[in-house]
Amino acid sequence: MPFTRIALRGGKPAEYRKALTDSIQRSLVATFNVPKDDIFMLITEHDASNFVYDNQYLNVQRTDDLVMIQITVSNTRTLEQKKALYKRMVDELAESPGLRREDVLINLVEVLKENWSFGNGIAQYAV
């Protein structure tokens, strides 16, 4: 069950934001074996003073179209799956909504399975 946070500069249309979430979900389904209907995402839009980044860290040339994606998942994926996710996500986002590959920052946060509750105060994944 991924929980995804997407941060970007404000002003993009609803269609753009929908293309972001659709592309990210397709990537998770394809590489992390996430069920299609297992989707929990938040989008936050920021003005320039609240969207701070280095436009050339590690020699990656970023623009104000930068999208920061943080995905919290259970710690059950291999290194190969993670690399496949990063590549697939950049490919999907380049296609729709048309993001430059340099403008996609992905951060994966792994947690233990018992750190999830999907409702009713129950740790559904705890064994």
Catalytic annotation, residues: 2
- Give the DSSP H or E segment for 66: none
Q: Please give the structure tokens belonging to residue 89.
A: 């996500």
Which residues are CB-neighbours of 16 under 8 A, at least 6 positions away? 97
> Phi and psi of 23, rounded to 5°?
-65, -40
Let me know: does 14 contact 8? Beta carbons within 8 Å.
no
Q: Please give the structure tokens belonging to residue 91.
A: 């490919």
Let me know: does 30 contact 90? Beta carbons within 8 Å.
no
